[in-house]
Chain A
Amino acid sequence: MKRRALACPVRAGEPTYNRAIMPIIEIRDLCKTYQVYQKKEGLWQSVRGLFQREYRDIVAVKDVDLEVDEGEFVAFLGPNGAGKTTTLKLLSGVINPTSGSATVMGFVPWKRENEYRRQFALVMGQKNQLWWDLPAQESFRLHQHIYGIPADQFQATQDELTELLDVRRLLNQPVRELSLGERMKMELIAALLHSPRVLFLDEPTIGLDVVAQHNIQQFLKHYQQERKITILLTSHYMQDIEALCERVVIIANGTIHYNGSLSGILDRFSTHKLVRLHLAEGQSFDGLDRIAPVEKLQEPNISYRVERGEVPSVLSRVLAERQVIDVVVEDPPLEEIIAEVFAQAAQDNPANGSERPAGVK
């Protein structure tokens, strides 16, 4: 992978290891295999299952190597069941790996040392850290004591966060009465009260409307730039990732398929360009489909899907044969390319499909 020079500021008075050499998150050959009970169809098979069970291994994460430097904002992209969430669970110590190693801030996550647990946070969808029947304020108060946050610092952080997310007036309302978006904001505040150095976000904008989604993006961006904390995020929304992350890690079938900048995805995986032409009035569209594969035809517009190297020749042919008003040459939508990468990954390894790990070993 690409190691970048460390430009991120180091907070004063912080301990031990040499940050200029060691990345804040280091993952080596990490594997996680779930054993899943194979239930076959039918009553007889169910009865058989009582006595003799067949298990199948589901590889959720396979030989993952990754390094993240302090202050980076990294996105995990991948289809459902690709291993993104499993990776976050491993890094936050919720589950133990099958093999391999990982350190976060010098700690092994699955040892669950309190020292470690005081320095990171995991926000996983709507699985609340908040007390459902009580105002969020109460949950925040509890967090203050759990994480041993000094009273004045707590007040300042809470004020700042509620201000940024515009939820101050909701602090004293029972959480169950909040909307999904408001609850997500409260979850984020609960996770950030103790000023974690590392934050894991699993689908932070899932199910939210466009406005709420945008608010949370803005907040995360601002907060990350301000505090220079390290954030690992998984999301299905390209907007989230385009708005927030400099680095993207594409995971499918538990292995890393790409690790680099967002624009780098295009260079690496996109073999085609889209050439869109606006033809002058009265021009015939007959025969134009012989020049290159047509992506879309909607008179007076026509789009071609052209291999990168052939863009000039295709353009000159059309320009010679027809009168053209406007030309646009662009990359295909990022979503499309990523979908292709996913599809490719699924073909390479069909055995695992998009299985969701759902069992105890």
Chain B
Amino acid sequence: MWDRLTTWWTFFRISLEERMVYRGDFMLGILMRFLPFATQVFLFWAIYDTMQQPTDHPDRLAGTIGGFTFYDLIAYLLLVTVTRAFSSMPGLTTGIARSVRDGEIKKFLIQPVDMIGFLLLQRVAHKLVYYVIAFLPFAFWFFLFRDCFTNGIPQPHVFALYLLSLILSFLLGFFLETCMGLISFWYLEVGSLTFIYMLLNFFLSGHMFPLTWLPSEPFNFQILVNALPFQYLAYFPAAVFLGKISGPDLYWGILVQIGWVVFFVVLSRFLWSRGIKRYSGFGG
């Protein structure tokens, strides 16, 4: 057990060091994460600005769309950016697919180590480095839009559940994308799969707009949203923070999120054990 812990620690430390090699790429990545956010602020500003206002209201942005004022929306989008910083896994699926295709995955078959465990550690290390460096820009944006958080910081127990669901969203994102990567044992090219995933993520995770905005006619999108894991990658934690989900719904939501994580953990194990049996050991 101790051996295993020191192995993990060494791998974790090496991943941290590796992450800090390419500083430029890293900084750019952090800046880019805020670019869509800034675009959305301007877009929704324009939309809210042209809306019909309650005649006696002095603030031109006080109208609501689906229960969100402009300020609520800004708060929501900022929080979604935070969730996405946990749940998005740049390069994970394509990385696994590449190592299957060019044979790098062999080292996990030859050495007495577990690939999925190592990838998880590596991801945790990368994320930690990311948060340390991204803390300042995040703090800046939250400070700038502090007035948008009209409800302030949630109750301690809600806040604790919020943090829990953030961590779960990290795990969900990791295992979901790992499963997609492992599909490359069957189909070497997973490019179109990641594209479909990105599209679904776009609409059903809520990182472009609150999921409550999805129409119920002619098709009730809420059924789709609730049947799929995507909302837990962006919408759910943000909605918890803003108090949009509370009471039994909150606890139920966390349970479902845990269920999805377990599902993808089991699925990834299954795909791995099946996949390596099929594996033909490409690349010389």
B185 on the A face (CB < 8 A): yes
Using C-beta atoms within 8 Å of the partner chain, give the interface range for chain B: 20 to 34
Q: How far is the CB of A187 from chain B (nearest CB, A)?
A: 11
Of A89, A131, A202, the residue contacting B18 (CB under 8 A) is A131
B217 on the A face (CB < 8 A): no
Chain A interfacial positions (CB closer than 8 Å to B): 34, 85-86, 89, 92-96, 112, 114, 117-118, 120-122, 124-125, 127-129, 131, 133-134, 138-139, 141-142, 144-148, 174, 202-203, 357-361
Contact residues in B for A92 (Cβ distance below 8 Å): 109-110
5 nearest A-B pairs in the assembled complex, by CB-CB distance: A145-B7, A114-B112, A117-B112, A95-B281, A94-B281
Of B14, B21, B109, B284, the residue contacting A202 (CB under 8 A) is B284
Contact residues in B for A125 (Cβ distance below 8 Å): 284
B263 on the A face (CB < 8 A): no
> Taking CB as reference atom, which chain A residue is nearest B20?
A133
Contacts beyond the supplied A117-B112, A139-B14, A203-B284: 6 A-B pairs with Cβ under 8 Å? A127-B283, A134-B18, A134-B21, A147-B112, A358-B282, A360-B278
Once A127-B283, A146-B111 are accepted as A-B contacts, the answer to whether A360 and B3 lie under 8 Å apart by CB is no
Name 8 interchain pairs, CB-CB below 8 A, sorted by A: A95-B281, A122-B110, A131-B18, A141-B14, A144-B10, A148-B7, A358-B282, A361-B280
Contact residues in B for A117 (Cβ distance below 8 Å): 110-112
Contact residues in B for A145 (Cβ distance below 8 Å): 3, 6-7, 10-11
| A93 with B280: CB separation less than 8 A | no
Q: How far is the CB of B273 from chain A (nearest CB, A)?
A: 10
B277 on the A face (CB < 8 A): yes
| A142 with B11: CB separation less than 8 A | yes
B107 on the A face (CB < 8 A): yes
Q: How far is the CB of B105 from chain A (nearest CB, A)?
A: 9
| A360 with B188: CB separation less than 8 A | yes
B279 on the A face (CB < 8 A): yes
| B10 with A141: CB separation less than 8 A | yes
Q: How far is the CB of A251 from chain B (nearest CB, A)?
A: 16
